[in-house]
Structure 1
């Protein structure tokens, strides 16, 4: 029942980033990916919008499935953990 409201909110947010209103959330998300790939919107804005969409999808799933109702997500932060870069560099080095 709230799915339409949630979808309308996401479409409005995507429209603000794209400068045009997509016909659906999935079309809007694809448009965001293309715009981010062309550098028309920043990575931070793109990832933040995707994260909001994920959280909305999660909310809708929770309301439809009581089993997930208590699960939480950690906050989205900008910092990168140094140990992840080292691990990636090591893996990349092994492949050469």
Structure 2
């Protein structure tokens, strides 16, 4: 799965990491629903850090569609709220390619 972090680049992340990404996404969603900016900031940081840790950077000159787009580190809680779907930011199932 190819995940883009806005303003940073793309990472190729194996589908085996989807469970952990979903767990972190759930924490992020709860923080957004509760309007808790401190928890939101920590949860967003943890989600992005996991993508960076688990993923391999895609070369800047590679033209690859992103399966998932995540906000940048300093995104405001309201910006991220607009990106949420019923499943949060991370789908529960890997994208079909």
Same fold (TM over 0.5): no
More strand by share: 2
Length-normalised TM-score, structure 2 = 0.30
